[in-house]
Amino acid sequence: MTELDLARAQMAMLFAFHILFAVAGMGMPVLMVIAERAHLRTGHPVYLELARRWAKGTAVLFAVGAVSGTVLSFELGLLWPRFMSFAGGVIGLPFALEGFAFFTEAIFLGIYLYGWDRVSPRLHLASGVLVAIGGVLSGIFVVTANAWMNSPAGFTLVDGRPVDVSPLAAMLNPASATETIHMTLAAFAASGFAVAGIHAFLLLRNRENFFHRKALEIALAVGCAAAVLLPFSGDMNARFIARNQPVKLAALEGQFETERGAPLRIGGIPDVASRTTRYAIEVPKGLSLLAYHDPDARVQGLAAFPRDEWPAPVPVHLAFQTMVAGGMAMTLLSVAAAWLFWKKREGIFSRRFLIAVALCGPVGLLCVEAGWGVTEMGRQPWVIRGVMRTAEAVTPVGSLLLPFAFFSLLYLGLGAASVWLLRREVAASPFFPGGGGDVADPPDPEGIE
Amino acid sequence: MPDPATLSAGCLLASLVLYALFGGADFGGGVWDLLARNPGAADRRRLIASAIGPVWETNHIWLIVGIVILFTAFPGAFAVICTALFVPLTVVLAGIVLRGAAFAFHAYHLHESPKAGRWGIVFATASLVTPVFLGIVFGAISSGRIRATEPLAFRGSVTVWLSPFPISVGFLVLVSFAFLAAVYLILETNEPELREKFRRDSLRSAAVLVFLSGLTMALAAVDAREFFRSFMGRSWSIPLLAAEVAAAAGAIASLALRRYPLARACAAAQASLLLIGWGLAQYPYLVRPDITVFSAAASRGTLRFLLGTLAVGAVLLFPAIFLLLRVFKWEAISGTPRTP
């Protein structure tokens, strides 16, 4: 591996780790606020217990997200000093805004976690809402910076340096809207499904546990609401990429030759040597239809671009296929959940459906990783598309294997510890006699031990 | 009205002062956790954890604000600092990760388990190492050893920070944080024994602090000459040094007289003056001797936008921070702590 590969591997590892916690930092506060609101409305203690436990989970996930995010803000400069030297003055603004969003999150999470007995219930709930808003805004601001790397704007390039800089135009670059919407929805879908999956798994052991039932309802509601919208935001992204980053689209789809009425390939492995994608199921004219909403539209293939400007077609295509397949699974499950719930509320607690939800639990997070891989690997060989190559940005400091190995081990330990702690918290399965209070739809009394 | 580059550098310094006063003290708390010995170690550790718990993440963000100002307003300087100081910055990051994660695990889940001690040790050790390397970074950029040969790039050795002055600044920062924490902690409790313990710790660390300040100055005279000349030879040098000495003496005297709120004000003033003095002596350099706030400044448009964002953000932020302190720190701030 070259030093460049090591730098890329380290950055990828740091992002892959951080993004899981960042996604939880966007989604979890919404779940805990919904539970607390339900408690204030119904007075039922089960919701208070849920809010408290989800808050504890949020606290651990937020703490790890905060420190791993700090690492990233430094590593941008440690691993890619030339990138930051160029980009800092152009795209620093969203990071400054993110700082304030992050402050909001941290301040009100402190009040939320430690203030149960110190502030009024209303201020407490409002703090939770501000944590959720701060979380979503943090995510949005950071993603605009990534959008800028895909679609640089807000400056003029003169002698390799940015002049006439407009930070606002850089932040509101053409890719920002589609990327931020898709990422925000993905964060809610992934965290909603991950939490729902955990509670579905525990319900499979004891289907009448009232605590897990209520948890599943809230988490599924959030996850499904987001997941049904993902195909639309995905479509917006694909059409944007078709227009702005055609070489990325070609790599995503394994499209080597330029053609009219290009087929949509499901699965398959791109073979760079023979410039074909093998073993794919081809839907005639599907790609032209999806990317341009016109079955006969012309789609540029990889061959239309210089070879040294191609992203690596194999990992990009596979990551893209993984993301789409997982996203479709979540969308279908969401539609099924809505239908079951509408027919008979008890339907979502049927054994078969619980198994499906439990299996779908990790899918959202997997899709987030795959989707991040698509946007990052699909932009290669550029770090700022068309402006700076990744190879030009890398640090001259050598021996990058050391920090890579070190942070990998550190994060492995951290990840294992987080999972272990969260497991302890959830597996406790607090017992609540069903019904009581104003909660509608108590479980069957004979089901309670 | 100063120019936008100077104003941005001022904002950077301000965020660093706030980080030292709040986040620095949280690190100092970890140091006292590490040094806590029986009898009463468990009580002291519990007090430290409860004092830090609700606020540490907020306090930590001042560092992020600082780094964001640095790379937005002075992107070239950020690149040079990150390249030359790759090693100490990496250690700082590892320390931040370990400290934060261990504290969160410790505080939110494990206090009831017998294994809590292990996380406590990670938390405390990371609290000891991180400030030293953070200080080394500050010492190194003022030492005059980091040369940016071509415009805003560094091609020297990555061990450029291994020299007496940066290392002594590292320990000065560690002891400053520990001193701040000990003084703050006195007012977090009304338990007489705990108070006396932290009062003794404050006085001891004050003595080490005085010694290290002298040593650092002496080392600066030989190992960071330009910085030393600037620190001692400006029109503000004598008044600032006098204020610094007065604040330190005030802190020690009021600790001796058990006037704790006054001691806290003096300790905070002393730490702030130390950093402000460093910043003034460093100005107009960001990285001595080749990079100034002007040579590294981003475009005027960026600087104006950044300053506007910081101003608007501050208007929203400070009431929120006030609320946080009002909820959790009011007794400590007003000098009338409750029984824990």
Phi, psi of A269 (to 5 degrees): -125, 120
Please, are residues B130 and B99 in contact by the beta-carbon 8 Å criterion? yes
Q: Which of residues 79-98 of A touch B (CB under 8 A)?
A: 81-82, 84-90, 92-93, 95-98
Please, are residues B161 and B140 in contact by the beta-carbon 8 Å criterion? yes
Specify if A123 maps to a domain.
no
How many CB atoms are located within 10 Å of the residue A121 CB?
A: 11
Least confident of B214-218, B287-291, B333-337: B333-337
Region B73-80: what's the mean pLDDT?
Answer: 93
Return the CA Rg of chain A: 23
DSSP 8-state secondary structure symbol assigned to residue B74: -
Please, are residues A103 and B58 in contact by the beta-carbon 8 Å criterion? yes
Please, are residues B217 and B232 in contact by the beta-carbon 8 Å criterion? no
SS3 A270: strand
Specify if B77 maps to a domain.
yes
What pLDDT, on a 0 to 100 scale, did the predictor assign at position B1? 72
Nearest-neighbour CA in chain B from A69: distance (Å)? 9
Distance between CA A384 and CA A393 in Å, rounded? 10
Distance between first and last Cα of chain B: 48
Six-digit token pair at A98?
A: 């993110």
What pLDDT, on a 0 to 100 scale, did the predictor assign at position A438? 39
Q: Provide the domain count of chain B.
A: 1
Please, are residues B67 and A95 in contact by the beta-carbon 8 Å criterion? no
Please, are residues A84 and B75 in contact by the beta-carbon 8 Å criterion? yes
Distance between CA A178 and CA A363 in Å, rounded? 22
Please, are residues B182 and B175 in contact by the beta-carbon 8 Å criterion? no
Least Cα distance to A109 among A73, A63, A68 occurs for A63
Specify if B134 maps to a domain.
yes
| Enclosing domain of residue B42 | 4-315
What pLDDT, on a 0 to 100 scale, did the predictor assign at position B106? 76
Q: Assign 3-state DSSP to chain B and report helix, strand, coil percentages, each to 5.
A: 80, 0, 20
Specify if B238 maps to a domain.
yes
Q: Which residue is listed with tokens 């996850």?
A: A223
Distance between CA A247 and CA A380 in Å, rounded? 10
Q: Tell me what percent of the residues of chain B surpass a pLDDT of 90.
A: 68
Chain B partners within 8 Å of A62 (Cβ): 57
Q: What is the domain-level CATH number for residue B182? A: 1.20.1630
Q: Is the pLDDT of residue B134 over 90?
A: yes
Chain B partners within 8 Å of A88 (Cβ): 71-72, 74-75, 78-79, 298
Give the pLDDT of chain A (449 residues) as one tens digit per residue.
899 999 999 999 999 999 999 999 999 999 999 999 999 999 999 999 999 999 988 988 999 999 999 999 999 999 999 999 999 999 999 999 999 999 999 999 999 998 999 999 999 999 999 999 999 999 999 999 999 999 999 999 998 889 999 999 999 999 999 999 999 999 999 999 999 999 999 999 988 889 999 999 999 999 999 999 999 999 999 999 999 999 999 999 999 999 999 999 999 999 999 999 999 999 999 999 999 999 999 999 999 999 999 999 999 999 999 999 999 999 999 999 999 988 888 888 999 999 999 999 999 999 999 999 999 999 999 999 999 999 999 998 888 999 999 999 999 999 998 888 888 777 777 777 655 433 444 444 333 33
Q: What angle do CA B249, B251, B253 make, to 5 degrees?
A: 65
Specify if B138 maps to a domain.
yes
Name every residue whose Cβ is closer than 8 Å to that of residue A307 and which is 6 or more positions away in sequence.
none
Q: Which residue is listed with tokens 């990534």?
A: A146
Q: Do the Cβ atoms of B328 and A110 come within 8 Å?
A: yes
Q: Provide the domain count of chain A.
A: 1
Specify if B46 maps to a domain.
yes
Please, are residues B287 and B148 in contact by the beta-carbon 8 Å criterion? yes
Q: Do the Cβ atoms of A92 and B79 come within 8 Å?
A: no
Q: Residue A64: which region, alpha, beta or left (left: phi > 0; alpha: psi -120 to 50)?
A: alpha
In Å, the largest CA–CA distance within chain A is: 78
Specify if A165 maps to a domain.
no
Indicate the pLDDT class of residue B294, thresholds 50, 70 and 90: very high
Q: Do the Cβ atoms of A74 and B86 come within 8 Å?
A: no
Six-digit token pair at B156?
A: 């020297």
Q: Do the Cβ atoms of B64 and A73 come within 8 Å?
A: yes
Please, are residues A248 and A270 in contact by the beta-carbon 8 Å criterion? no
Region B72-77: what's the mean pLDDT?
Answer: 94
Specify if B337 maps to a domain.
no
Q: Is the pLDDT of residue B331 over 90?
A: no
Specify if A18 maps to a domain.
no
Chain B partners within 8 Å of A56 (Cβ): 108-109
Phi, psi of A398 (to 5 degrees): -95, -165
Phi, psi of A389 (to 5 degrees): -80, 150
Indicate the pLDDT class of residue B115, thresholds 50, 70 and 90: low
**What residue type is assigned to position B77 of the chain?**
A
Name every residue whose Cβ is closer than 8 Å to that of residue B212 and which is 6 or more positions away in sequence.
B168, B171, B172, B175
DSSP 8-state secondary structure symbol assigned to residue B20: I
Please, are residues A354 and A203 in contact by the beta-carbon 8 Å criterion? yes
Nearest-neighbour CA in chain A from B23: distance (Å)? 13
What pLDDT, on a 0 to 100 scale, did the predictor assign at position A445? 39
Q: Which residue of B has its CA nearest to A420?
A: B105
Specify if A23 maps to a domain.
no
**What residue type is assigned to position B307 of the chain?**
L
Q: Is the pLDDT of residue B104 over 90?
A: no
What pLDDT, on a 0 to 100 scale, did the predictor assign at position A437? 38
Least Cα distance to B13 among B54, B56, B55, B74 occurs for B74
SS3 A438: coil
Distance between CA B264 and CA B254 in Å, rounded? 9
Burial (CB count within 10 angstroms: exposed 0-12, middle 13-18, buried 19+), residue B271: buried
Specify if B110 maps to a domain.
yes
- For residues A173 and B104, which has the higher predicted lDDT (pLDDT)? A173
Q: Which of residues 401-430 of A touch B (CB under 8 A)?
A: 403, 406-407, 410, 414, 417-418, 421, 424-425
Specify if B322 maps to a domain.
no
CA B211 to chain centroid? 18
| Enclosing domain of residue A339 | 175-392
B188-216 pLDDT, tens digit per residue, is 988 888 999 999 999 999 999 999 999 99
Chain B partners within 8 Å of A410 (Cβ): 94, 97-98
DSSP assignment of B181-210 equals: HHHHHHTT---HHHHHHHHHHHHHHHHHHH
SS3 A281: strand
Helices and strands per DSSP (H, E), number in chain B: 14, 2
Kind and range of the H or E run holding A162: strand A161-163
- Whether omega for the bond prior to residue B192 falls within 30 degrees of 0, making it cis, is no
B166-176 pLDDT, tens digit per residue, is 999 999 999 99
What pLDDT, on a 0 to 100 scale, did the predictor assign at position B330? 84
